[in-house]
Amino acid sequence: MSASDPTIAELLQQASAAIYALLTHRVASYTVGGISYTYQDLDKLRKLRADLLEESANDATTGTRRMIRLGDIAGT
């Protein structure tokens, strides 16, 4: 992992912003962690956000702050 990889919190913030922007039709597509999503991908984004929330909760219990690659969560 490099210093430029986003943290779980940063990816969670991006995923939430993407969901909001796509739901309100403010954008046609939104990129999170280098992957572009459209309105049709909202279920994927919601799954990503749920996975990130779970990872965030796991890190909170161990007191760690990890940087993560989107592929580690999304299976891409």
Would the pTM of this model clear 0.75, i.e. be above it? Answer: no
Are the C-beta atoms of 49 and 15 separated by less than 8 Å?
yes
Q: pLDDT digit string (tens) for 35-56? A: 999 999 999 999 999 999 998 8
What is the reported pLDDT for 6?
A: 86
| Bridge partners, 38 (sequence order) | 29
- In the block, which residue shows the tokens 């969670």? 12
Q: pLDDT digit string (tens) for 18-39? A: 999 999 999 999 999 889 999 9
